[in-house]
Amino acid sequence: MQNNTFSTLFVGQNLIKLKEVDSTNNFLKEMLSKSEPLAEGTVIMADNQFSGRGQQQSIWQTEPGKNISMSLYLKPVFLPIDKQFYLNMVVSLAVSEGLSQFVREGIRIKWPNDIYYLNKKIGGILIENTLTGTTIKSSVIGIGLNINQVNFIESIRNKATSLIQILQKETHLIDILEKISIFMEKYYLLLKSGNYDILHKNYLKQLYHINVKASYLHNGEIFEGVITGVEDGGQLVVESDKGREVFNLKEIEFIHTK
């Protein structure tokens, strides 16, 4: 455990570095379950995460020591449950803007929980909220980013990329963590102040395939549509031949473009 010199008030100030762990989210949740006094903004960062999880229990595969595998602890007790997706917006914006300090063009947020460079995935986000009544007691936010990894398994080789492949040079992980922490705090404080309009507007500006005709899969059928927005509850809004349609998580799939 260490205190950092990041130019933040609380995000990333308490950094716990681990050599190896099954999942940084699991490690952080276990700490919380033991009722350990933990500062908001605490970050768990692992060199090797051997059972990292993505959305819907999918596995996040990463090479030891080359990427960012981290979890962040927040306490958004102020956030109404029906606006939970705004926390997703905060995290997505923080990660995309943090990476954009290194890659000037091409970083986008792919609904609902991925970070893309052009048409390839560079990272993913998994947010696990603990609710108490109508309040979000705590949030464990997992972030996985491909940074200095060059080789990927064949099944994802054409769909994934990393910062080193984009920049053709290695980047210090702590430098990226610092940028993400700075933007995370910025957007989290905007959320705490109730600036939903600003967050929503910025999120849509960064959204992958916004206002672009593309192919999607729904109920086994491929259709063409245009993403026009995201609702407060996180549903994706798509205009197609059928008119305006609204999709929840896992109801629609992007058809990958090479």
44 vs 83: CA distance, rounded Å: 26
Confidence category of residue 26, pLDDT binned at 50, 70, 90: very high
Can you give the pLDDT at residue 258? 56
123 vs 146: CA distance, rounded Å: 6
Comparing CA positions, the residue from 223, 217, 219 lying closest to residue 243 is 223
Task: Determine the average pLDDT of the residues in 122-136.
Answer: 94
pLDDT tens-digit series, residues 29-87: 999 998 778 999 999 999 998 765 554 444 455 788 999 999 999 999 999 999 999 99
Can you give the pLDDT at residue 38? 94
* Element counts in the chain: helices (H) and strands (E): 5, 15
Is the confidence at residue 187, as pLDDT, over 70? yes
Can you give the pLDDT at residue 199? 98
- Domain range list for the chain: 2-206, 213-254
Write the DSSP string, 81-140.
Answer: GGGTHHHHHHHHHHHHHHHHTT--S-EEEETTTEEEETTEEEEEEEEEEEEETTEEEEEE
> Which CATH code for domain 2-206?
3.30.930.10
| Cα torsion 81, 83, 89, 94: sign | negative
Residue 160 is classified by DSSP as B
Q: ω into residue 112 within 30 of 0, thus cis?
A: yes
Confidence category of residue 154, pLDDT binned at 50, 70, 90: confident
Confidence category of residue 28, pLDDT binned at 50, 70, 90: very high
Q: Which CATH class is domain 213-254?
A: mainly beta
Side-by-side strand order, sheet with 135-145: 2-3, 14-21, 43-49, 68-74, 135-145, 120-132, 114-117, 107-110
Can you give the pLDDT at residue 35? 75
Confidence category of residue 3, pLDDT binned at 50, 70, 90: low
Task: Determine the average pLDDT of the residues in 148-156.
Answer: 89
Greater confidence (58 vs 219) lies with 219
Confidence category of residue 134, pLDDT binned at 50, 70, 90: confident
Q: What is the mean pLDDT of the chain?
A: 92
